[in-house]
Structure 1
Amino acid sequence: MINFNFNIKSIVLGIGIGIIITSLISIIYLAGNDTKNTITNEEIISRAAKLGMVKSSSIPEIKKVLPGYDLKEGDKE
């Protein structure tokens, strides 16, 4: 049977070193991130339109697009 003797100071020191290393890596990574290159909502909408996406308000009701469904003048809700 293996006997592990963990010292609480060693565990806290290891966690602290891990936090410091992780924060240094994230600072280095985020330093190269340019926040000026964010795109606006209008740019997203125009790119989506170029790809063929449509707004949900322009999609007809489900009754109108079902095959074999005849929409009569009196059936409009």
Structure 2
Amino acid sequence: MMKNVLLSADGDIKVYSVPDIVEKNLEKIADEFSFEGGLFDVEDFIDWLNKYKYPYKKSVYIETIGCVGDVDELPDQYKNCKWYNF
């Protein structure tokens, strides 16, 4: 099963559909990426997930939301999604 997450790197927020295990453990998995020398970048994180961590279940880009100052400013369909900022 796939779930949406919000990812950003001090800029535009991007929505990705990721395996549910990634959504459930987003912070832990993103930290693991960082500790392995990942460049704190959304695209690099997704590439790492797809090539090394979960190659059997690829994460997919959905859309760019843009910059928001607060969770309340997110579109309604994404307000309950986990959000990680690199």
Mark yes or no: TM-score above 0.5: no
Q: Which has the higher contact order (CA 8 A, sep 6+)?
A: 2
TM-score range, shorter chain: under 0.3
Tell me the TM-score normalized by structure 2. 0.20
Which structure is higher in helix share?
Answer: 1
Which structure is higher in strand share?
Answer: 2
